[in-house]
Amino acid sequence: MFSAHPDTRPRITFLSCLALLSALCLISGEVVAEGTAEKYPAHPVKLIVPFPPGGPTDIVARPFAEALSQSLGQPVVIENRGGAGGAIGAAAVAKASADGYTLLLGTVGVISINPALYPKLAYAPERDLESVALLAAAPVALAAHPSLPANTLAELKALAASQSLRFGSAGNGTPGHLTGEMFRSASGISLAHVPYKGSAPAVQDLLGGHLELVFDPLQSVLPHIRAGKLKALGISSAQPAPQLPGVPTFIEAGVKTETTAWWGVFAPAATPDAILDALARHLARARENATVRQLESLGIVLLPEQTRAAQQDFLRAEAVKWGKAVRDSGAGID
Amino acid sequence: MELFTHLNIGLDAVFTLSNLGYCFLGVLLGTLIGVLPGLGPVATIAMLLPVTYGLPPLSALIMLSGIYYGAQYGGSTTAILVNLPGESSSVVTCLDGYAMARQGRAGAALGVAALGSFFAGTVATLVIAAAAAPLAELALKFGPAEYFSLMLLGLIAAVVLAQGDVFKAVAMVVLGLVFGLVGTDVNSGVERFTFGIPELADGISFVVLSMGIFGIAEIIVNLERVEHRDVFAARVGSLLPNREDMRLSWKPVLRGTALGSLLGILPGGGAVLSSFSSYTLEKRLAADPARFGKGAIEGVAGPEAANNAGAQTSFIPLLVMGLPSNAVMALMVGAMMIHGIVPGPQVMTERPALFWGLIVSMWIGNLFLVLLNMPLIGLWTRLLKVPYRLLYPVILLFCCVGVYSVNNSAFEVGLTLFFGVLGYLFVKIRCEPAPLLLGFVLGPMMEENLRRAMLLARGDISVFVTRPISLTLLIAAALLLCLLAWPRARRTRDLAFQE
C-alpha cells in the first residue's frame, strides 16, 4: 500500500459510503467516516513492538506510547512480541483487523530489510501494512577501539592495506551489518564481518579490544564515545550528528554510503484514512512531549511530520537500497 | 576511605520514606512473581515500566531492581516446595531442595535458602561498591576464546559430576546440545531445526524447557502416585535450619557467594551458570557425594547463595559500562533511558547519588527480603498441606500464564507441554535432566564463541592456548577429564551409582 494518492477526494467519498455501510452493519457501531473520526479511539489501542522489552525499538516505543496515550485519551498498551527478526509481531499486525486498534512499531529491519532477507516472510510490508508516521531515526556509527591507529576514514583505508581489519555487528541482516557491507563496497576498504547476537556483546568485545571496529546504530555506542572508551570514525546519515561534533558523515569523508536505522508506526493496510490521519495528528503532537524529546539525548533524531505520500516514497527507496545491500552481501537466507 | 564516602552518598539518597517504600514494594512484588512459576521479572518489569514514568529516576530503579533480586529469592520457594523452578536460576535448587521437602525438611531448606541468599546479597553488594570498576575491566578481558574455554570446562564438569551412568549423562548432554541448536545460526543466519515455524527462529527458551522438564513432568509423576505425595505433605518439619544444617551449610554459602559474584559479571545467564557451577563444586567437595540429589542441604545452600550473588553482580556491567548482561538488565537500560539517563561509564561520576543510592538500596532490599521471607516460611510450608488435586490445577494455570507472558506466544505454552511429556519419559527411564539443561545452556554459547573466536583469529586454532585465561580454563578442563579416567574416582562413582 505504498502507492501514492495524488488526488484523495474520490477515496474519501468511497470511504464515506463504506463508513455508512459499516455504521449500518456493525453492532459495535464504530463510525470511522470523515468528521466523525474523533470518535476513535473508543477503547485502548494495542501497539505491538516486535522485539523483546528493553531493546532499542522498545526504548523508542515506550515514550511515544505514553505520549500518544495522553493525546488520544485512551491507554496505548505495548505488547512485546519478539522473535524471528520482528517477523512474528509484524505478521500479527498484518493479520489484525484494520480498525486502528492494533498498530505496529515498525523498524527499518521489519519493513525494509526482512522482505529481502527472508524469502518466506509471513507478511509483505507493501501489501499488508500502511505507514502512519515515521517517528525517529538514528545514524549507524562506525566506532573503533581507541588504540586503533586510524582516526579518519582515509587513515583507516591506509591501515587496511597493511593489516586485516574486522568489524562486529548486532547480527546478520541488521542495519549495522548491511551498512558495513555497503561501506565496504563503496570505500574499497577490506573488512571481515563478525556477527554477534545483539549490540551489547559486539560493543563489549570492541571495548575489550577483541576486534577493531563495530557498525551499529549510534545510541548503542554513544555513551562509550563520550566516555572516551571508543572513538567514532564516521556516521552513516546524510547530516552530521549534533551529539558527535567533528565526526564526519561517510559521504563527507568520500564514501558514498547513506543509511539510517529508523522507526515508525504502521497499521494494517485496510485501515481507513480517517483513522490514519487522526493517528498521524496525535503522533505529531506526541513528538513535542518532554519524555519523547529525551530520546534525542540518546543519539536518536526525531523525524518531522510527513505526508503519507512522502512516507511511501521514502519506504520505496529504502526497500530498494536495503534489498540491494542484502543481495550484495549474500546475507539473504534461503 | 572513599568507599565509606560513597556509601554515605548512597545512604543519604535512599533514606527517604518514599525510596524505602519503593524498595519494599519492589522486593515484595519480586518475591511474589518469583514464587509463581514462570512469571518472571522480565514480564513484570516490562509491565511496570509505564508506572515508573512519573517517579524520580532513583525510586524507579530501586523498585525495578528490587523486583529482579526479589524474584531470585522467591524462585527458590517454588523449587523447594513443588519442584518447579520459579526462576530459571533456581532450577538447581529443585534437585536437593525438593528432596528435602519430601523428607519433611522444607522449612530447613527454605531457611537455608533465605539466609544464604541474604549473606550472598550482602557480600555481592559490597563487592559492587568496592570493586565494580576493576571487575568490569576483568570481564572485558573475556573474549570469545575465553568464553569457549569456560563453556568447555562447564560441560565437562557436567558429565564428570553427574550421578549414575556416564553413558546416560553424556546422552542427556548431547540431547541438550541438540535442543540448543534449534534456531537461527548467528554466523550464517541459516535456520536450523525450525521446520519453518517462525516461533522457533530464535530457539527454544530456557523457561519453556526447564518448566516443562522439571515442573510439568513432576506434576504428571505426582498424579501417578497420589498416596505417596499425601504422606510427605503431612510432615512439614521444623521451620528453621538446625545447628547441624548450619554447620554443613556455611562453607557452601561462602563458596557459592564467591562463584556467583564472579560468574554474575559475565554476560549471558550469569545467575544460571553460577548456581550450576556451585552445585557441581559442592558435590565434588562433599565427603559423600551420593547424598546429592537426595536432600543434601549443601546442594541448596551453595547454589542459592550463588544465584543471588550472581543476580546482584550482574548489575556491574550495566552500572559501570552500560552493557546489559541479560534480559532484565536490558530492561533496566530501557528504564534508565526513559528517565533520560544514558547508562554508561559516566553515570558513576555524573549521577553519584543515583549510582550509590541504587547500590545501597540493594543491601536494604536484601534485608527486607530476609525479614519478609523468614516469617513467610511457615505460610509457604502450609501450602504443602493443600490437597494436591486442588494445588496442581493452580500450578498448571500459573505455568501457562507465566510461559505465555514471556513472549505473548501461545506456541510456547504448547512447547512447554511437549517438554513436560519428555520430562516424564526421563523420569521413567531414569535419566537425570540436569546435564540436559547444562548442554542446552552451554552448547549454543560454546558454538557461538568457538566460531567467533575462529573468525577473529582467522582460523588459527592456537588462540585458545596462547591466551592465558583461556589456557588456564582448558587446563582445568583437562584435569577434570583425568579425574573421570582416574580409577579411584571411578570406583566412588560406581559406588554412588549402586546406592
Domains of chain A: 9-138+262-329 (3.40.190.150), 140-235 (3.40.190.10)
Decide which of B3 and A69 is more confident. A69
* A243 touches B: beta carbon within 8 Å: no
Average pLDDT over residues B273-299: 83
pLDDT band at residue B239 using 50, 70 and 90 as cut-offs: low
Q: Grid coordinates representing B231?
A: 504422606
| Nearest-Cα residue of chain B relative to residue A296 | B340
pLDDT digits (tens, 9 = 90+) for B8-54: 888 888 889 999 999 999 999 998 888 877 677 877 887 787 777 77
Instruction: Please give the share of chain B, as a percent, with pLDDT higher than 90.
Output: 19
Predicted confidence (pLDDT) at residue B445 exceeds the cutoff of 90? no
Judge contact between B362 and B312, C-beta under 8 A.
yes
pLDDT for the residue B160: 67
pLDDT for the residue B61: 92
With an 8 Å Cβ cutoff, are A194 and B141 in contact? no
| Nearest-Cα residue of chain B relative to residue A212 | B456
Q: Rounded CA gap, A88 and B409, in Å? A: 10
pLDDT digits (tens, 9 = 90+) for A113-136: 999 988 888 899 999 999 999 999
Judge contact between B113 and B71, C-beta under 8 A.
no
With an 8 Å Cβ cutoff, are A62 and B50 in contact? yes
User: Which portions of chain A are predicted below pLDDT 70?
Assistant: 1-38, 331-334
pLDDT band at residue B305 using 50, 70 and 90 as cut-offs: very high
- Closest CA–CA distance from residue B400 to any residue of chain A (Å): 17
Show residues of chain A in contact with B323, CB under 8 Å.
Answer: 200, 203-204, 207
Least confident of A9-13, A119-123, B163-167, B211-215: A9-13
| Nearest-Cα residue of chain A relative to residue B347 | A223
Judge contact between B206 and B271, C-beta under 8 A.
no
Show residues of chain B in contact with A68, CB under 8 Å.
Answer: none
| Nearest-Cα residue of chain A relative to residue B41 | A53
Show residues of chain B in contact with A209, CB under 8 Å.
Answer: 140
pLDDT for the residue A12: 44
pLDDT digits (tens, 9 = 90+) for B70-108: 888 888 888 888 888 777 778 888 888 888 888 888 888
Q: Rounded CA gap, B191 and B495, in Å? A: 44
Report phi then psi at B100, rounded to 5.
Answer: -65, -40
- In chain A, which ranges are continuous DSSP H helix? 9-25, 56-72, 87-95, 108, 114-117, 125-128, 153-162, 175-187, 199-207, 218-226, 273-286, 290-293, 308-329
The enclosing H or E element of A262 equals strand A261-268
Among B53, B186, B317, the residue with its CB nearest the CB of A291 is B53
pLDDT for the residue B269: 56
Average pLDDT over residues B264-280: 76
pLDDT for the residue A93: 95
pLDDT band at residue B237 using 50, 70 and 90 as cut-offs: low
pLDDT for the residue A1: 38
* Beta carbon pairs, A and B, within 8 Å: 148
Q: How many CB atoms lie within 10 A of CB A307?
A: 10
pLDDT for the residue B494: 53
DSSP secondary structure, A142-205, as one string: EEE-TTSS-SSHHHHHHHHHHS-EEEEESSTTSHHHHHHHHHHHHH---EEEEE-SSHHHHHHH
Decide which of B265 and A132 is more confident. A132
Least confident of A220-234, B183-197, B237-251: B237-251
pLDDT for the residue A274: 93
With an 8 Å Cβ cutoff, are A172 and B187 in contact? yes
- ipTM score of the complex? 0.80
pLDDT for the residue A2: 41
* A163 touches B: beta carbon within 8 Å: no
Average pLDDT, chain B: 82
Q: Grid coordinates representing B5?
A: 564516602
pLDDT for the residue A115: 93
With an 8 Å Cβ cutoff, are A203 and B49 in contact? no
Please, which residues have CB within 8 angstroms of residue B422's CB and are 6 or more apart in sequence? Answer: B212, B213, B217
Q: Grid coordinates representing B312?
A: 546482584
Show residues of chain B in contact with A201, CB under 8 Å.
Answer: 267
With an 8 Å Cβ cutoff, are B337 and A59 in contact? yes
Q: Where are the domains of chain B?
A: 2-498
Residue to substitute from A204, A225, A291, interface B, most B β-carbons within 10 A? A204
* A290 touches B: beta carbon within 8 Å: no
Please, which residues have CB within 8 angstroms of residue B137's CB and are 6 or more apart in sequence? Answer: none
pLDDT digits (tens, 9 = 90+) for B110-133: 889 989 999 999 999 888 888 877
| Nearest-Cα residue of chain A relative to residue B42 | A53
With an 8 Å Cβ cutoff, are B342 and A204 in contact? no
With an 8 Å Cβ cutoff, are A58 and B334 in contact? yes
Judge contact between B139 and B265, C-beta under 8 A.
yes
> pTM for the full model?
0.82
pLDDT for the residue A28: 38
Among B46, B325, B452, the residue with its CB nearest the CB of A53 is B46
Show residues of chain B in contact with A192, CB under 8 Å.
Answer: 455, 458
Least confident of B174-188, B310-324, B330-344: B330-344
